Structure 1
Amino acid sequence: MYHLLDFNCNSFTNDCVGFLTGQSIPAWIQDLPSDFLSTPFGAALRPTIDAMFRRPAPGTANPPAQPSPQAAAAAAAAAPDPALASTLLQAVAAQAFATDGAPSTSSLTQSAQSVTEAASSETATAPIHMCTNPTSFHNTLRTHRAVVAFFTSQTCPPCRMIEPTFERLAHEKTQAAGIGGGGGIAFVKVDIGAGMGHAIGAEYGVRATPTFIFFKDSSKTHQMSGADVAELKTQVDFLLWEAYPPHPHTQKSLPSLDSVSTDPILFTQVPNLDVVLNKLSSFIDSTNPPIPSSAKTALSAEVIPALKARFTFNSTAKSGPSPSTTVLNKWTEITRTLSVPLPAAQLFPLVDLWRLALLDGAVGVFCASASGGSADPIQMLLVKALALLSGAPDAARNYFLTLLRLLSNAFAFPALARTLLSGMGKRKSVTSLLVHSLLHADSPVRTAAASLAFNVAAFIQKERLEQVRRRYGPFATSEEDGDWEVEVISAVLEALQNETQSEDVVHRLTACLAFLLRFSPVYDSQIGSLLEVLQAKDTLKSKLAPGGCGVEGVKSSNLRKLITQVADNLC
């Protein structure tokens, strides 16, 4: 079966040329798909192309899964001309999913056809890659950190015996560990009797099947022959250990840190909603020029009743139905209307209503889906806060306090939390607010900021811990991520140094620091030297001494143990 990226006309032409002449077509032609996929548009479009060519197995009636509108939109947005790209993508999708047939089948040779048909249900991100010529094999080596190549043939009984084990390992080690695809691990199957598979085998000295060859960074590291299941498993694990060695901190014992819950700190108090509405209404009425009365009417007639139906004053239990999408859309419009004319000192009641609403799952989903768009209420409120940082932030103490609590509540839902930490857009805004608030003169503001810092670090810790539990993972990170981590850790250490009043703040900041340091992908390259320059160990242990936090220093025995373990093992 034809595949636009992996088994296309270039692949078939190359096989034919090799069969007839022993040569190959020029590399710049063979590598066109790879060159295309190296562009932002190609990378965004790849899942869509894969979905177009993912066909059901013979005899099944299930139609192929069509690409999602979100994937198509992302692909178009990555192109230099999004409008043109969207039009082209729709045309390609329509052709690929036409009911009058699937993409055409090559008839070069019977053996080549059998291989390509077997690959028709695979995709470029599938656990097993089918390679029929040296070019596709070398491309796989070049684009993956680790490769396990299985050289097989149709007439080899031992190959059929060990093939299920190979396929199971491919699924376990790529999908479960989440490191398949570009830069991760690839499991490759090469039939030496199909296409130019014999040329790949000859290049690496394969004289019998089954043979397994292991590669790291395109270099051969080991070769084994025969259907030895135990040896295959051992060598795959060893390859992964070499390619993705466990983080050095996995060997450190930190029982006090292990006992700290990674559940987010939430602000669940339900205020008297009538009092909040009256306060906000008085601020609206005093605005000059006046704000349209429709905003206040919608608040009293739609938003407040919806919140009252869901939340009960002075109770943490949720009772009635969640606010409807209609109400949330209306509320977002009200937020846009009020966020510009009202000063921050008068806008905090509206922020507190959103803070409460984010305790509801439906509201969390709504805000996550709106993230980054023109209808994103959290972004609107963040923009207001950032404008204050360069002005007179102390005058907006209540606004900062309620917004920090709102952002902390956002971590009740992973999808929404991820939008706050992904990319450099909203994450940059959240970080600027957090860094400023950690050093605020007001103790409740510092407590809320420490809570948000804890939630951020705990969320990151959960994802890193999953990689560690699987024993390996790509602990690489982008330069922007490393710089962000340095900025946050520096701010947390400065806040710890200055905090001499609240044990709660010290506890949250210490746990935050520990979560960020423990499995940091840039610990050796960036964080270790930073900790020495900032004297992190001394800063932490100073909290234990008289005057470090209160007159006698930290009193809690659990917190003292945590501080000691973090200082001695991670700093």
Structure 2
Amino acid sequence: MSNPVKLYVYDLSNGMAKRLSLQLTGKQIDGIWHTSVVVFGQEIFYGQGICTTPPRQSHHGTPLHVVDVGETALDQDTFNEYLDEMRQHYTADKYHLLDFNCNSFTNDCVGFLTGGSIPSWISDLPSDFLSTPFGAALRPTIDSMYRRPVPGAAPSPATIQPSPQAAAAAAAASPNPDLAASLLQAVASQAMANGFPSASGSANGVSTPSTQTLASPIHICTNSASFHSVLKSHKAVVAFFTSATCGPCRMIEPVFEQLAHNMTKTAGAGGGAGVAFVKVDLGVGMSNVVGGEFGVRVTPTFIFFKDGKKTHEMKGADQAEFKSQVDLLLWESFPPHPHAKLSLPALDKVSTSPILFTQVPALDTVSAKLASFIDASASSISQASTVKQILCTEFPTFLKGRFATDSKTKCPAPTPQLLTKWTEATKTLLNALAPNQLFPLTDMWRLAILDETIANWCATSSGTSNDPVQAILLKALSTLSKPEAQATARPYLLTTLRLFSNAFSADPLARSVMSAKRTTVTSLLVSSLLHADASVRTAAASLAFNVSAFVQKGRLEAVRTQYGPFAGSEEEGEWEVEMISAVLEAIANEVQSEDIVHRLTASLAFLLRFSPVHEAQLQPLLEVLQAKDTLRSKLEKGGCGEEGVRNADVRKLVQQVSDSLC
């Protein structure tokens, strides 16, 4: 008689991850998943060792999801024997929020009971999180929370606090330290409630041997199903077959763990395209079946897999050979980008620092101009006098103090309450004034986001009602959609482009622009590159440069770490095609300004150089658009000015990009 097997899924963040993840990481994460297995009328989960309760009676309450993972033909006594054996492996002192947790346990149980595995959207969550810049920066903090200060001591409320250094790193990594701390604390509290014991015992009251917490992304497999799940979901796999009584295994294990930590950060840890380091203890669970499947008879044995197929086997504890084989596997699985060895000295001289518009305007004149517009439209503005006081007195007064040249007179950073008030007043004017009356307001925000506190607040507010940057952007796009308004709205469009160029002064806001706002910013950019006014085109070229440089910096880091997975998504490819088409058209039409040609050529080069879709999508596009001829025409008479581009550095850049990247 078969018995149903279900997976109960809970969210350790209680909904905070779904609400805040996009702001903090640039990636939507719907929950921090905790799972338990329900079978034979019991709910079993890993926390304070292996714990068992009646279904829905654990401290987590009602599951968010119930997943039917199949049926088992095993009887309850056999499963209980399996659990008794697994208790020696899933001890409380091994628990780690990212690397060895409740989901590791349920994956093993499901494999034992049904031959299947838990859904990938659960098992791949740590990799998805760590693949974000915020997740990678937060990793040391999470590790510190599970570090055992005393050998043999299990985690407790007294020892689970991050070190001051790790906490500082977490704050620096987040666009909003308070939100990050709230999310991390919520998850840690739920994990602690998961049943961490006192330092003297485990779930069943029996003392368990101390085991150093795994400090690297290592998969633990104790059955064939979980092992094949890892093979299926990762491009490259390094499997370490070991045993508790093997002396040479203990000698090479630190090398294995260190390589796992280093390589998964550089070989595409996110999702199914990455690398996995797997530890298979032949004395645990059904691991001997895994070993038998691959003919493992001695330990240590290392087996290397690419695309699910075995490529090499190594026996013994030769550290040099092991490192060499790992390097070879990752090189074959993630070959470096074909442009990695190109010599482009002219492009290398171009700084990737953003082009910023930092001039402080005559704020009294700006505020007076805005006040005159408010007065002229007072009848259509809700609480016009209050809005005028906020935006024509409070806001410019703050800016004068914040950007004063004399550091002694600088005013303190604004509070969230003050920023919210400015935003609400800004939104009121955006709805009430004509586009040609909004440039003073936009210019003040252009200056304001150069302040780190304001930039970080705008990043945190992205996608909410408190997002002034998004409100200004949408107004600008609506203006561009009306040809009759473009000429009179030129100052507003110009200041908006400069505002978004300044958004790249702070990484959190830049990440927000390139994630939540990328589509709308691209629309603004594409619409402005061909504007009749040279100053607007210059601002648009500056924004194009900043966008491209931001993309280039991320890709360059992947290349420097040697094993970047250069497989672009369809969405990424579509965006690049749109950007490159617009930039090339703008270069072709620019016959006046060498400065614009310079910025656009650099933008084109940054987009092309390490593009993950260069060969598949961009190379054919460049041929159709005759990119090489377009660039070379700028060097000829009449191409840009009477004599063509004359600046020697710009000429070299145009030549190298056309010859090597197009």
Give the TM-score normalised by the residue count of structure 2. 0.74
Q: Distance in 1 between matches of 2:339 and 2:621?
A: 17
Structure 1 counterpart of 2:219: 129
Structure 2 counterpart of 1:268: 358
Contact 2:266 2:563 in 1 (8 A): no
Where do 5+ consecutive residues of structure 2 fail to align?
Answer: 1-43, 53-71, 86-108, 163-169, 171-176
**Matched residue type, 1:310:** R
The answer on 1:488 being equivalent to 2:579 is: yes
Q: Distance in 2 between matches of 1:410 and 1:557?
A: 31
Deviations, residues 42-87 of structure 1 (Å, cap 9, x unaligned): 9899999x989x8553326544469999689999xxxxxxxxxx9x
Assess, with a 3 A threshold, how the Cα gap between structure 1 residues 319 and 406 changes in structure 2: closer, same or farther.
farther
Moved more, 389-398 or 557-566: 389-398
Contact 1:37 1:43 in 2 (8 A): no
**Matched residue type, 1:174:** T
Q: Distance in 2 between matches of 1:234 and 1:63?
A: 38
Assess, with a 3 A threshold, how the Cα gap between structure 1 residues 94 and 131 changes in structure 2: closer, same or farther.
closer
Structure 1 counterpart of 2:505: 412
**Matched residue type, 1:3:** Y
Identify the match of residue 441 of structure 1 among 516, 532, 536.
532
Contact 2:111 2:117 in 1 (8 A): no
Q: Distance in 2 between matches of 1:51 and 1:442?
A: 51
The answer on 1:305 being equivalent to 2:397 is: yes
Structure 1 counterpart of 2:79: 13
Q: What count of residue pairs does the alignment treat as equivalent? A: 542
Identify the match of residue 118 of structure 2 among 27, 30, 33.
33
Structure 1 counterpart of 2:618: 527
Q: CA deviation at 1:489?
A: 0.4
Q: Distance in 2 between matches of 1:139 and 1:285?
A: 67
Deviations, residues 360-384 of structure 1 (Å, cap 9, x unaligned): 1111111111111110000000110
Identify the match of residue 550 of structure 2 among 450, 459, 481.
459
Contact 2:368 2:392 in 1 (8 A): no
The answer on 1:474 being equivalent to 2:517 is: no
Q: Distance in 1 between matches of 2:303 and 2:514?
A: 39
Assess, with a 3 A threshold, how the Cα gap between structure 1 residues 445 and 74 changes in structure 2: closer, same or farther.
farther
Q: CA deviation at 1:472?
A: 1.0
Where do 5+ consecutive residues of structure 1 fail to align?
Answer: 76-85
| Greater strand fraction, Structure 1 or Structure 2 | 2
Structure 2 counterpart of 1:79: none
Contact 1:131 1:189 in 2 (8 A): yes
Assess, with a 3 A threshold, how the Cα gap between structure 1 residues 482 and 147 changes in structure 2: closer, same or farther.
same
Deviations, residues 319-367 of structure 1 (Å, cap 9, x unaligned): 6135412332221111111110111110110000000111111111111
Q: Distance in 1 between matches of 2:349 and 2:653?
A: 10
Q: Distance in 2 between matches of 1:233 and 1:239?
A: 10
Q: Distance in 2 between matches of 1:122 and 1:446?
A: 53
Assess, with a 3 A threshold, how the Cα gap between structure 1 residues 102 and 333 changes in structure 2: closer, same or farther.
farther
Q: Distance in 2 between matches of 1:240 and 1:481?
A: 24
Assess, with a 3 A threshold, how the Cα gap between structure 1 residues 25 and 319 changes in structure 2: closer, same or farther.
closer
Q: Distance in 2 between matches of 1:165 and 1:91?
A: 33
Q: CA deviation at 1:260?
A: 0.5
Moved more, 378-387 or 183-192: 183-192
Q: CA deviation at 1:94?
A: 7.9
Structure 1 counterpart of 2:46: 3
Q: CA deviation at 1:241?
A: 0.9
Structure 1 counterpart of 2:65: none
Secondary structure at the counterpart of residue 511 of structure 2: helix
The answer on 1:545 being equivalent to 2:631 is: no
Contact 1:303 1:327 in 2 (8 A): no
Deviations, residues 510-564 of structure 1 (Å, cap 9, x unaligned): 0000000000000011000000000000000000000000000000111111111
Structure 2 counterpart of 1:196: 286
Q: CA deviation at 1:13?
A: 3.4
Structure 1 counterpart of 2:194: 96
Contact 2:51 2:203 in 1 (8 A): no
Deviations, residues 124-177 of structure 1 (Å, cap 9, x unaligned): xx5222211212211221222211111111121111111111111111112366
| Greater helix fraction, Structure 1 or Structure 2 | 1
Q: Distance in 2 between matches of 1:229 and 1:26?
A: 32
Contact 2:525 2:540 in 1 (8 A): yes
Q: Distance in 2 between matches of 1:207 and 1:301?
A: 80
Structure 2 counterpart of 1:81: none
Give the TM-score normalised by the residue count of structure 1. 0.85
Assess, with a 3 A threshold, how the Cα gap between structure 1 residues 293 and 18 changes in structure 2: closer, same or farther.
closer
Structure 2 counterpart of 1:498: 589
Contact 1:497 1:539 in 2 (8 A): yes
Deviations, residues 281-305 of structure 1 (Å, cap 9, x unaligned): 0000001524221011122442111
Contact 1:309 1:319 in 2 (8 A): yes
Correspondence 1:498-517 to 2 at 5 A: 498-517=589-608
Q: CA deviation at 1:449?
A: 0.2
Structure 2 counterpart of 1:561: 652
Secondary structure at the counterpart of residue 261 of structure 1: coil
Secondary structure at the counterpart of residue 151 of structure 1: strand
Q: Distance in 2 between matches of 1:38 and 1:210?
A: 27
Q: CA deviation at 1:385?
A: 1.1
RMSD of aligned residue pairs (Cα, Å): 3.9
Q: CA deviation at 1:414?
A: 1.0
Contact 2:223 2:285 in 1 (8 A): yes
**Matched residue type, 1:343:** A
The answer on 1:242 being equivalent to 2:308 is: no
**Matched residue type, 1:171:** H
Q: Distance in 2 between matches of 1:192 and 1:40?
A: 27
Correspondence 1:83-232 to 2 at 5 A: 95-96=193-194, 105=203, 118=211, 121-122=213-214, 126-175=216-265, 179=269, 182-232=272-322
Q: CA deviation at 1:37?
A: 2.1
Identity fraction in percent:
53
